[in-house]
Amino acid sequence: MAEQVTSADRQAGRPGGRQAGAPGGPQTGRQSGSQVGRGSGRRSGSGVGRRPGSGFGRRPGSGSRSAGDMQTRRDRWLSINLALPSILLLGVAQLYPLFQGILYSFQKGKTTRPSQAWVGFDKYAQLFADPDFWKAVRFSIVFAIGGVVLSYLLGLVLALLLVRDIPMRGFLRVGFIVPWVIPPIVGMTAWRWMLQDERGAVNQVLNWFGVDTIFFFNDPKWTAVAAIVVKAWRSFPFMLVSLMATLQALDPVLDEAAAIDGAGRWKGFWHITFPQILPMSSILWVLMTIWSVNDYETPYLLTNNSANARNLMIFSFDEAIYRDLGKGSASAVVTLIVLGILAFFMLRLQKKASDLQ
Amino acid sequence: MKRRTGKRLNGWGIAVLLLFAMLLVNIPLILTAINSFRPTSDILHGSTLFPENVSFDNYRVVTEATDYWLWFRNSIVIALITTAITLVAASFAGYSMSRYHTKVNSVYSATLMVFQLFPIVLSVIALFILFRKLGLMNTPVPAVVLYVVMSLPFCTWISKGFFDSIPRELEEAARIDGASSFQAMVRIVVPLAGPGAAAVAIFAFLQSYNEYMVASAFLQKPSARTIPIGLREFIQQYHTDWGQMLAASTLAALPPLIMFLLVQKWMIRGMAAGAVKG
């Protein structure tokens, strides 16, 4: 019985709200009614529906009610206070800038003299009329999708290989995580150096294979390709570690049963393994997309702030701090809204995927 | 017998393939390190792949004639403060979300994803103006605040997932023996929290040590610069001196690499627990 509550609690706690509702069964009666359907049952104090001998079994005895009340109150106090530092910090660094940013987007101003006058939706109009804004939107989309797809595939393939019992596994795993660990400035500088004109390592290799030199940073198309590949290079370790963890938690019995039934390796993966890792995978897709759209450093440092590789972050920052505070703020607010919508739809997708399980 | 050997060879085959892939993946860093030991003239005119003369000149110039150590000190100070605060905040919040299902926590948990997607640019814009007014530019304060906030959602998620994997029965047993909630938390959970703490700490450290944009916005004075800004300086000022640039890069990559190697076992275990349970 105790396990039942614990696992339901665990499920219910997922970020983005898998609101599991009341854990059901005999425990429901024990809640004092004000809680949102989840509970460890330790909260009632009022003794409503407390049936001796049911449920927990390990509860401190049915003795003095006042001791239970004290416990509950202290629990609640502790719970609020433990979360408080985080909530305060997030308030200062996200809630305040959010409201302030929205205000700025309706005003004319510069960073040295913000809030000069109210101009309504003017800044938004200017923003949507700016071709550079749409260029930034396009690049953000391409960059994010390309990066997520590539890093996921790479991470998945490597994870499938690394969960097997092979020699040097620990060493290999650590080695693959390095791109994620080193500072972006180091990685981007190295790639920049490798991708430069004829002297760069990449072009030297290409030339050796008979391919003409590619001027990665002059051609917008190739700049995008380079940005995506480098982003995937930086991001795949995260996919790798998460997918390895997920794969290792799977029940091997299913795989063995499929193998006994004669399923080929590809069929086995597609019909048995993949559905099981789908919920986690969809979380990873959402997370990585969000992180990619919010990524200022990779395109900026890789291309040295080239106009070919400006995504929404770079555009908004540049606009707000160096040119038009109102327009830049509007751009940042629009980005947030778009990300919010994106996350909403992707989370619904993820919920569907995990419900199907 | 034959099947067994076959399987073993198969394992080694994959391992060798993966080793080759791993080296390929790390070529940027490997090339950086190798070429940092060549004089710049060699780098520009010779082939990038095979070094001829080995020299430590680049390192000598970087460590003696530039502000590298100043940048290093600034980076480490900010990173350590950020890590400490994030560790405390994320662990507390994660523990609370794992054990106490109050309304505050359910709201916070649901909005965690929202906080995760917040574009950092939006924070920087408003805080840039605010901190300027407050005279806090070029201090660690703006950087620490922003880095903590950037790490919190993910770290709290990991932390919660990790605490979920520690059975409640242990604390309940302690409570039956008379311990208060706080004592139960400290005596039972904290000693077990190693992997979770390692995951949170390394993530927060990497976030703050590696980060460029926030640092470049708030730490513009030369004396306040962190390593990422300093390295970028190299490209701008000494743009022909690739040798020194590569040497500085190699040096800069060492602290995160070393930290990661030290805690990687714990960190991966912590992340795994978070990923599976969360």
Q: For chain A, which residues make up each domain, given as ranges?
A: 2-63, 122-356
Distance CA A75, CA A58 (A): 18
Torsional sign, CA B35, B39, B42, B45: positive
- Quick: pLDDT tens for B165-190: 888 777 777 777 776 767 766 777 77
Residues 6+ apart with CB under 8 A from A344: none
**% chain B with pLDDT above 70:** 87
SS3 B183: helix
CB atoms within 10 A of CB A246: 23
User: Which A positions 214-253 lie with beta carbon below 8 A of chain B?
Assistant: 233, 241-242, 244-246, 248-249
Torsional sign, CA B160, B165, B171, B172: positive
Give chain B positions within 8 Å (CB) of A105: none
pLDDT tier at A68 (50, 70, 90 boundaries)? low
Task: Report the residue of A81, A174, A182 to disrupt the B interface, i.e. the one with the largest count of B CBs within 10 Å.
Answer: A182
**Among all residues of chain B, which has the CA nearest to that of A237?**
B25
Look at the domain A122-356 and name its fold.
MetI-like fold (1.10.3720)
Give chain A positions within 8 Å (CB) of B112: 15-16
Give the one of A6, A89, A167 whose C-beta lies nearest to B145's C-beta: A89
Q: How far is CA B71 from the centre of its chain?
A: 17
Q: Which helix (H) or strand (E) holds A117?
A: strand A117-118
User: Which A positions 91-150 lie with beta carbon below 8 A of chain B?
Assistant: 92-94, 96-98, 100-101, 104, 111, 114
CB atoms within 10 A of CB A138: 12
Domain annotation covers residue B52: no
**pLDDT at A346 (0 to 100):** 75
| pLDDT of A61 higher than 50 | no
- Same domain for B66 and B28, yes or no, is no
pLDDT tier at B238 (50, 70, 90 boundaries)? low
**What mean pLDDT do residues B131-159 have?**
90
- Same domain for B127 and B257, yes or no, is yes
The pair of structure tokens assigned to B20 is: 């080759």
Domain annotation covers residue B50: no
Q: Do B29 and A186 touch (CB under 8 A)?
A: yes
Task: Please write down the HEC assignment for all residues of A37-69.
Answer: CCCCCCCCCCCCCCCCCCCCCCCCCCCCHHHHH
pLDDT tier at B253 (50, 70, 90 boundaries)? very high
pLDDT tier at A49 (50, 70, 90 boundaries)? very low
CA distance A275 to chain B (A): 15
Q: Do B29 and A98 touch (CB under 8 A)?
A: no
- Same domain for B31 and B66, yes or no, is no
Closest CA to B217 of B226, B206, B209: B226
- DSSP for B29-94, written as a single string: HHHHHHHTTS-HHHHHHS-SSS--S---HHHHHHHHHSSHHHHHHHHHHHHHHHHHHHHHHHHHHH
| pLDDT of A15 higher than 70 | no
- Phi first, then psi: what are they for A5, rounded to 5°? -65, -45
- Quick: pLDDT tens for A89-115: 888 888 899 999 999 889 888 888 887
Domain annotation covers residue B250: yes
Give the one of B26, B182, B246 whose C-beta lies nearest to A178's C-beta: B26
Give the one of A16, A190, A343 whose C-beta lies nearest to B249's C-beta: A190
- Quick: pLDDT tens for A124-174: 999 999 999 999 999 999 999 999 999 999 999 999 999 888 888 888 989
| pLDDT of B132 higher than 70 | yes
CA distance A221 to chain B (A): 22
Give chain A positions within 8 Å (CB) of B128: 111, 321
| pLDDT of B237 higher than 70 | no
pLDDT tier at B95 (50, 70, 90 boundaries)? confident
Distance CA A125, CA A320 (A): 16
CA distance A212 to chain B (A): 18
Number of A/B CB contacts below 8 angstroms equals 338
By the 8 A CB rule, do B154 and B203 touch?
yes
**Measured between alpha carbons, how far apart are the two ends of chain B, in Å?**
42
- Same domain for B13 and B135, yes or no, is no
Q: Do B108 and A86 touch (CB under 8 A)?
A: yes
**pLDDT at B84 (0 to 100):** 94
Residues 6+ apart with CB under 8 A from B186: none
Distance CA B57, CA B268 (A): 38
CB atoms within 10 A of CB A261: 9
Burial B64-86 (b: 16+ CB within 10 A, else e): eebebebbbebbbebbbbbbebb
By the 8 A CB rule, do A328 and A316 touch?
yes
Among A287-296, B218-227, B230-239, where is mean pLDDT lowest?
Answer: B230-239
- Quick: pLDDT tens for B42-81: 777 665 556 567 888 888 888 888 889 999 999 999 999 9
**Among all residues of chain B, which has the CA nearest to that of A110?**
B129
Domain annotation covers residue B75: yes
Q: What mean pLDDT is reported for chain A?
A: 77
Residue B229: domain span: 61-277
Residues 6+ apart with CB under 8 A from A122: A108, A326
| pLDDT of B273 higher than 80 | no
- Quick: pLDDT tens for A19-30: 333 333 333 333
- Same domain for B25 and B74, yes or no, is no
pLDDT tier at A225 (50, 70, 90 boundaries)? very high
Among A57-71, A131-145, A267-281, A284-298, where is mean pLDDT lowest?
Answer: A57-71
Q: Do B235 and A304 touch (CB under 8 A)?
A: yes
**pLDDT at A70 (0 to 100):** 61
**pLDDT at A224 (0 to 100):** 94
CATH number at residue B128: 1.10.3720.10
Q: Do B113 and A83 touch (CB under 8 A)?
A: no
Q: Do A6 and B101 touch (CB under 8 A)?
A: no
pLDDT tier at B5 (50, 70, 90 boundaries)? low
By the 8 A CB rule, do A96 and A40 touch?
no
Q: Do B181 and A191 touch (CB under 8 A)?
A: no
Q: Do B117 and A290 touch (CB under 8 A)?
A: yes
Distance CA B176, CA B172 (A): 6
Give chain B positions within 8 Å (CB) of A71: 181
Task: Report the residue of B78, B105, B125 to disrupt the A interface, i.e. the one with the largest count of A CBs within 10 Å.
Answer: B125
> What angle is formed at CA B190 by the lines to CA B188 and CA B195, rounded to 5 degrees?
120
Distance CA A11, CA B258 (A): 36
Give the one of B122, B175, B232 whose C-beta lies nearest to A101's C-beta: B122
pTM greater than 0.90: no
What is the residue whose two structure tokens read 């003299």?
A113
- Same domain for B67 and B11, yes or no, is no
User: Which A positions 294-323 lie with beta carbon below 8 A of chain B?
Assistant: 294, 296-297, 300-301, 304, 312-313, 316-317, 320-321
**pLDDT at A211 (0 to 100):** 86
- Same domain for B126 and B25, yes or no, is no
Domain annotation covers residue B43: no
pLDDT tier at A67 (50, 70, 90 boundaries)? low
Domain annotation covers residue B224: yes
Domains contained in chain B, number:
2
Give the one of B101, B103, B276 whose C-beta lies nearest to A249's C-beta: B276
Alpha helices in A182-219 (DSSP H): 184-194, 201-208
| pLDDT of B217 higher than 70 | yes
- Quick: pLDDT tens for A311-338: 999 999 999 988 889 999 999 999 999 8
Domain annotation covers residue B110: yes
Closest CA to B113 of B146, B153, B162: B153
Domain annotation covers residue B56: no
Amino acid at residue number A348: R
